[in-house]
Amino acid sequence: MRRILKQAWPILITQWASIAFGVLDTTMTGHASAVDLAALALGISIYITIFIGLMGVMHALIPLQAQAFGAKKFSQIGEYWSQGIWVSIILSSIGALALSFPDVYLSLSGDIGPEVRERLTQYLQLLILGLPAALIFRTAYALANAVSRPRMIMNINLLGVALKAFFNWVFIFGHLGAPAMGTPGAALASSIVYWVSLIVALVWMTRTPFFTRFGLGLTRPVLSRIWEILRLGLPMGASYMIEVGAFTFMALIVAREGTSVTGAHQIVSNLAALGFMMPLSLSIATSALTAQAIGAQRLREAQKTGSFGMRVVFGGAVLTAMAFYFGRDWIVAFYTADPDVATIALSLLVILPWFHLIDALHCVNAYLLRAYKIAMMPLLIQAFSLTAVGLIGGWFLGFGPGQAWVRPWLIQVFPNAPPGAATMWIMASVGLSLSSALLFSWYRHMTRVLLRTHASDTSKL
């Protein structure tokens, strides 16, 4: 447990620093105008869906490099890092293409005002400039976590938050001679910070003795290594995209209930993402340590690490859920001064603590399976639970033919909540619950089979 916590706290600060970009964007554009906040809510949902999917592919480097580190195959770690850069370049091209056509996503949102549409388009175009840097930076992130050295990334991300706040102030509100760009200014600030962070990470890693022993450097593309990364990374990226895509399509569908509901949904989504950083950090730390034990052929230790990781994640999630519930008035006041947005956000925040508890357990089970290089089964489970049950079920009951079944109940339980948005959040929780249960069952089955097989092989020797 000490090892998990020792590795997790720098990852947690790193994740908080990363999500602070969204918090800064939401709070600062929220005080710019309601139009800017609505454009950000839609724009960031589209960008995050695409970026998280691509980032998930890059995170395949964590179990690959962690198992190599546990097996003391140091040169192999450098090979994975180099080929990871080539993978990130390929993914950047795909991501840029996907971000270039926002109207495809906006077709789900009904009638979007021209001002919101224009600012959203500019927002995505400016984020394309920083996408290559953001993905290449993930090779450094993956390596640092795989070898249990996450503090470097933590320091870089803390620097990035300070730079992000400054550049947001400059470009969103128009200071130091810059134009007041609103939502697009937030994207320009992010792209600048992505490139600065990448440069600092590369300089740091190439000059630190601990990392130089891995033989870090950009070599020619090796198709076999690239395919090895993609074979694990593509299902991981698809799982990430399904998880975040559910939020994206929620935002696009919820936009039908108006600008105020869109803004309130963005606040709650941002809080969900902020709270998710704790279980995510603990899950990454647990997964990396588990993968190291697997690489060293210590399967009992791997199972024990996973068991303790689950307990720590659940305990932390309980504390976070309580903070969301009892501090919701202060939290909403921090995000917005608009009374309509605040009232709706407060009503949705009653659902968020339960959603967070379920999401935390879902996260740790998914990451433990990835430590064993198992990604396809989690993808299938999440595709059904989060998409069919959570997203489609939420649309059916919140905006489709089934809305008449649940709205009388919703009005009584959540009188100030928009019925469509509330239903989407409730069904998202139901889908996550199903996915968590199935992932845990598969993890328990898989570890028991591996331990029996390992014990049998050992007895024969």
Q: Of the spans 13-22, 215-224, 264-273, which averages the highest pLDDT?
A: 215-224
Separation between Cα atoms, residue 75 and residue 66, nearest integer Å: 13
Question: How far is Cα 289 from Cα 309, in angstroms, rounded to an integer?
Answer: 10
Three-class secondary structure of residue 347 per DSSP? helix
The confidence band for 64, taking pLDDT boundaries of 50, 70 and 90, is: very high
Question: Given its phi and psi angles, is residue 267 left (phi above 0), alpha (psi -120 to 50 degrees) or beta?
Answer: alpha
Q: Average pLDDT, stretch 236-258?
A: 80
Confidence of residue 408 (pLDDT cuts 50, 70, 90): confident
Q: Are 399 and 420 in contact (CB under 8 A)?
A: yes
> Which tens digit of pLDDT belongs to each residue from 131-151?
999 999 999 999 998 888 888
What residue has token string 């959203």? 120
Residue pair 348/417 in contact (Cβ under 8 Å)? The answer is: yes
| pLDDT value of position 91 | 94
Q: How would you write 93-154 as a 3-class SS string?
A: HHHHHHHCCCHHHHHHHCCCCHHHHHHHHHHHHHHHCCHHHHHHHHHHHHHHHHCCCCHHHH
List pLDDT tens digits, range 263-313: 888 788 878 888 888 898 899 889 989 988 888 888 888 888 988 899 999
As a whole number, mean pLDDT of residues 211-238 equals: 88
Distance CA 332, CA 265 (A): 12
Q: State yes or no: pLDDT of 317 exceeds 80.
A: yes
Q: Is the pLDDT assigned to residue 360 strictly greater than 90?
A: yes
| pLDDT over threshold 80, residue 117 | no
Q: Which two tokens mark 360?
A: 């935390």
Selection from 160, 249, 142, 172 nearest residue 199 by Cα: 160
At residue 459 the predicted structure's pLDDT band, cuts being 50, 70 and 90, is: very low
Q: Are 294 and 302 in contact (CB under 8 A)?
A: yes
The average pLDDT across 15-23 equals 78
Q: Taking 70 as the threshold, does the pLDDT of residue 108 lie above it?
A: no
Could you tell me what percent of the chain has a pLDDT over 90?
27
Flag the least confident range among 207-221, 341-355, 395-409, 445-459: 445-459
pTM of the complete model: 0.79
Q: State how far the Cα of 276 lies from the Cα of 285, in Å rounded to an integer.
A: 14
